[in-house]
Amino acid sequence: MSELSMFDVLGPNMIGPSSSHTAGACRIGKVGNKMCKGDISHVRFLLHGSFSQTYKGHGTDRALVGGILGFDPDDERIVESFAIAKALGIKFEFLKADLGDVHSNTVKIEIQKSSGEIVEVMGSSIGGGNIVITRINGLDLEFTGEYFTLVVPHMDRPGIVTKVTAALAKHEINIAFMKVYRHNRGKEAFMIIESDNVVDQLTMDEIRSLDGVVNTYSINLK
Amino acid sequence: MSFNSGKEIIELCHNENKKIYELMIEREIALLDTTEEEIRAHMAISLEIMKKAIADSITEDITSISGLIGGDAKKVYQNESIKGGSICGPMMKKAIAYSMGVLEVNASMGKIVAAPTAGSSGIIPGTLIALQEEYDLPDTAIINAMISASAIGLVVSKNATVAGAEGGCQAETGTAAAMAAGAIVEMMGGTVEQSFHAASTSLKNILGLVCDPIAGLVEAPCEKRNAIGASNALISSEMALCGVESIIPFDEVVGAMYKIGRALPFELKETALGGLADTETGRRIKKEIQSK
């Protein structure tokens, strides 16, 4: 974890009642929103451990739906998130699940896009509103959203990492941390790039157009 | 600018002839490439959130998500049945009502500032706003106090924990009270040593306090423990401003708190498996809430 700011200690500003069960849940939901670029027709939230036991009393359900709608943890619309989602025609359901040997506050979000494609995001709320994303589309990985995060699904072949980092360098984006994950050799893989500054649309588009890059997702959590 | 302990803050304040909040602002600027204006503007937003939560809680009818708490802050604030309006005096009465009120707003999915946590979010606004009204203090003074409070909370976060799941309620409402007490002493003209005597005293006063929320919710006994936390901060500040010292220095109190927190069984650290949560009534309420 990076050095704490005064606003990490006296903060975050948030909708109550719980930094882990409400604010953290909202942030995991927001990662879901970013990973489907807001294109949602149906969402299933699989709640594990403490999330499954106390989600109603902590407003975890409303916070998750608020996050899926792209709200930040201090957005007062979280309270009305069910009604807002329904008005947008988004279906959602909550299921209790055993997600295995994971943190007690873990949720797996299954998003069905309008095309029918399924996007899956799993994350844990680890305290104080902080989160860890642990799986995307069946691939185990790890990032916290503490930095501006760029998720780049790509084909696992030589030279792709260089091309992506060169594009970032050209636009003066400084990489703080970077990890590469893959299912199998030569198949789809993920780059997780954490940077100090936000990656603008122009840079995103340039990376997206690179041969071997499948998509780009920018995740900026408050 | 960097510091990791109360001792270092005291030394830096003396060597550089600065207040705690001035050190904390310098640290923030170095850390995040920001400016004092930006920091103050951000903190002013936090202060407005605190004030709005208090105002809502004493004027509106608030009920928590589970229905377990709500309306008690208003009861304390509006009560006139006690002769003279209060046993504790008008300022303490406000601090009690305000700190409870913020917790009620939090439990009803209203907006609050985690200070340092959501479960202890009533103590700093409750005490600072009550004092602001009592002494007609400008917002700048309250913002300075909030920044100094964050420096004290930072020391606890770095050397121990502020999470109930790790350290029990002592880590949450104890740290909030220590943050408030140290900041209040500075705001009311005390020395930096007195600030840390007040912070030490607040934390010492509730060492060992467990986190045993009914049905696992941030509602009860959290709300009343915020009222106690606010009183704790004010009592500790008053003692320190009168020259009463803590025999054990702040950093050692923080160390003791952390050791106690780790020694507490997990049933008493936010799991709702022990303490008040595991009483006959606590278990009944849990069953009722979960079957809703």
The answer to whether residue A148 scores a pLDDT higher than 60 is yes
Report yes or no: A89 and A38 within 8 Å, Cβ to Cβ.
no
**Strand pairing class (A105-112; A91-96):** unpaired
Residue type, B28: E
Q: Pick the closest to residue B199 from B191, B221, B270, B225 (CA basis).
A: B191
Q: Pick the closest to residue A103 from A208, A25, A4 (CA basis).
A: A25
The answer to whether residue B218 scores a pLDDT higher than 60 is yes
User: Nearest CA of chain B to the CA of A100: how many Å?
Assistant: 19
DSSP classification of residue B269? B
**Residue pLDDT, tens place only, B108-128:** 999 999 999 999 999 999 999
Three-state SS at B239: helix
- At residue A105, the pLDDT reads 93
Rg (CA), chain B: 18
Q: Do B217 and A16 touch (CB under 8 A)?
A: no
Q: Do A10 and B108 touch (CB under 8 A)?
A: no
Q: Do A22 and B31 touch (CB under 8 A)?
A: no
**Residue pLDDT, tens place only, A86-142:** 999 999 999 999 999 999 899 999 999 999 999 999 999 988 888 999 999 999 999
Lowest-confidence pick of A170-174, B11-15, B43-47: A170-174
Residue type, A157: R
Q: Do A14 and B146 touch (CB under 8 A)?
A: no
Give CA–CA dist A213/A164, Å, rounded.
9
CB pairs under 8 A between A and B: 128
The band of A222, judged by pLDDT with boundaries at 50, 70 and 90, is low
Q: Which residues, 6+ apart, have CB-to-CB distance to B61 below 8 Å?
A: B70, B71, B74
The answer to whether residue A1 scores a pLDDT higher than 70 is no
Give CA–CA dist A160/B249, Å, rounded.
56
What residues in B contact A59, CB-CB < 8 Å?
Answer: 65, 109
Please count the other Cβ atoms lying within 10 Å of the Cβ belonging to residue A178. 15
Mean pLDDT score, B44-59: 98
Mean pLDDT score, A157-163: 95
| Averaged confidence pLDDT in chain B | 96
pLDDT above 90: percentage of residues in chain B? 93
Give CA–CA dist A28/A122, Å, rounded.
8
Contacts with A, B 228-267, CB within 8 Å: none
What's the distance, Cα to Cα, between the start and end of chain B in Å? Answer: 52
Q: Do A6 and B119 touch (CB under 8 A)?
A: no
Give CA–CA dist A3/B158, Å, rounded.
9
Report yes or no: A91 and A103 within 8 Å, Cβ to Cβ.
no
The answer to whether residue A26 scores a pLDDT higher than 80 is yes
Q: How far is the CA of B287 from the CAs of A54, A61, B66, B214, B218, in angstroms? A: 11, 19, 12, 11, 16
**Strand pairing class (A105-112; A188-195):** unpaired
- At residue A24, the pLDDT reads 95
The answer to whether residue B231 scores a pLDDT higher than 90 is yes
The band of A56, judged by pLDDT with boundaries at 50, 70 and 90, is confident
What residues in B contact A56, CB-CB < 8 Å?
Answer: 65-66, 289-290, 292
What residues in B contact A47, CB-CB < 8 Å?
Answer: none
What residues in B contact A10, CB-CB < 8 Å?
Answer: 43, 46, 113-116, 124, 146-147, 149-150, 153, 179
The answer to whether residue B31 scores a pLDDT higher than 70 is yes
Rg (CA), chain A: 17
What residues in A contact B28, CB-CB < 8 Å?
Answer: 5-6
The band of A68, judged by pLDDT with boundaries at 50, 70 and 90, is very high
What residues in B contact A3, CB-CB < 8 Å?
Answer: 31
- State the ipTM, two decimals: 0.96
The answer to whether residue B190 scores a pLDDT higher than 90 is yes
Nearest chain A residue (CA) to B288: A57
| H/E segment holding residue B56 | helix B36-59
Q: Which residues, 6+ apart, have CB-to-CB distance to A199 below 8 Å?
A: A148, A150, A168, A171, A173, A218
Question: In terms of C-beta density within 10 A (0-12 exposed, 13-18 middle, 19 or more buried), how is residue B205 classed?
Answer: buried
**Residue pLDDT, tens place only, B121-175:** 999 999 999 999 999 999 999 999 999 999 999 999 999 999 998 999 999 999 9
**Strand pairing class (A148-155; A188-195):** antiparallel
What residues in A contact B64, CB-CB < 8 Å?
Answer: 17
Give CA–CA dist B88/B252, Å, rounded.
32
User: Nearest CA of chain A to the CA of B54: how many Å?
Assistant: 14
Residue type, A184: N
Dig out the tokens for B84 from the structure: 């003279």
User: Nearest CA of chain A to the CA of B55: how many Å?
Assistant: 16
Q: Which residue has the tokens 């900041």?
A: B183
What residues in A contact B24, CB-CB < 8 Å?
Answer: 6
User: Nearest CA of chain B to the CA of A16: how many Å?
Assistant: 4
Mean pLDDT score, A29-53: 96
Predicted TM-score of the model (pTM) = 0.93
The answer to whether residue B28 scores a pLDDT higher than 60 is yes
Dig out the tokens for B225 from the structure: 């423990």
Report yes or no: A12 and A222 within 8 Å, Cβ to Cβ.
yes
Report yes or no: B113 and B125 within 8 Å, Cβ to Cβ.
yes
Give CA–CA dist B66/A7, Å, rounded.
29
Taking the CA atoms of residue B96, residue B99, residue B102 and residue B103 in that order, the dihedral angle to the nearest 10 degrees is -90
The answer to whether residue B292 scores a pLDDT higher than 90 is no
- At residue A2, the pLDDT reads 67
Nearest chain A residue (CA) to B24: A6
Of A10, A23, A74, the CB nearest to B150: A10
Q: Pick the closest to residue A129 from A63, A173, A185, A196 (CA basis).
A: A63
Contacts with A, B 25-64, CB within 8 Å: 27-28, 31-32, 39, 42-43, 45-46, 49, 64
Q: Do B49 and A127 touch (CB under 8 A)?
A: no
